[in-house]
Amino acid sequence: MTQLTTETVGTGPRRVAFLHGLMGRGKNFTTVAKAIGDDFTSLLVDLPNHGSSPWTETFDYDEMAEMVAQTLQADFAASGPVDVIGHSMGGKVAMRLALHHPDLVRRLIVLDIAPSSSRGNFDHLLGSMLALPLNEISTRGEASKALAEAVPNEGVRGFLLQNLKKTDEGFAWQPNLTLLYDSLGTVMGWEETHESFTGPVLWVAGEKSTYITEADLPVMRALFPRVRKLTLKGAGHWVHSEKPAETEQLIRVFLGSEEGNNGR
């Protein structure tokens, strides 16, 4: 069994697992997890090929969902199903987890991603990271400066550079960057399935994001008959980091709602 790296935040009686997006890590949800820590105990998961979790030979959403399932079964969800929140790539993993292991997932929140969404500029972002001459860089400031022309947005640049790891030989990328870059077609894709998850699902779109369109709704309804769509005003793709207070509120309302507690 493969155990993924996790961190537990909060002491509340309810249990919720967070799954991050491409080039992220579990700690990206720390702010929100701390904010709900009175009501929820949160498990922040480093997904495969990210953070401190193991690398895999190929990128496969079902394999990733199975590794998350094994991690949850080992401890966090050992006494019963938990709520799961996934953003972007992590949203796709969360959806596959709910479809394949409905016994592990009580309620699901999917943040700004659709099953077949292929939007975003990650080809450029990951390519720019791979092109960075790490052997010539001695500080994070130098790395940021070297990446600034290709990635001028300071927030996005900082998000990417969280993945730099200091080693005895200098800086290195902690995620399995080459595999992720070579697998972007799969990352942006979705393997068709005729399964469905009948538990409550909240599907959150950022108002300024292009990752979810009206054309995605029939696909989501086929997979998740009890899906509810909500658009978070003023938010782009990274809804939880751009609108943490609003994200905290929707988590509290949906996961504590009567619908959410009616089971399947």
Could you give all domains of the chain from N- to C-terminal order, each with its CATH number?
6-119+189-255 (3.40.50.1820), 122-182 (no CATH)
The pLDDT value recorded for residue 1 is 65
The residue among 116 and 151 whose pLDDT is bigger is 151
Residue 103 burial (10 A CB sphere; 0-12, 13-18, 19+): exposed
- pTM equals 0.94
User: Which pLDDT tens digit goes with each residue over 26-55?
Assistant: 999 999 999 999 999 999 999 999 999 999
User: Which pLDDT tens digit goes with each residue over 229-238?
Assistant: 999 999 999 9
What are the backbone angles phi and psi of residue 243, rounded to the nearest 5°? -130, 65
The structure tokens listed for 126 are: 């990951």
Q: pLDDT confidence of 264, banded at 50, 70, 90?
A: very low
User: Which pLDDT tens digit goes with each residue over 163-193?
Assistant: 999 888 889 999 999 999 999 999 999 999 9
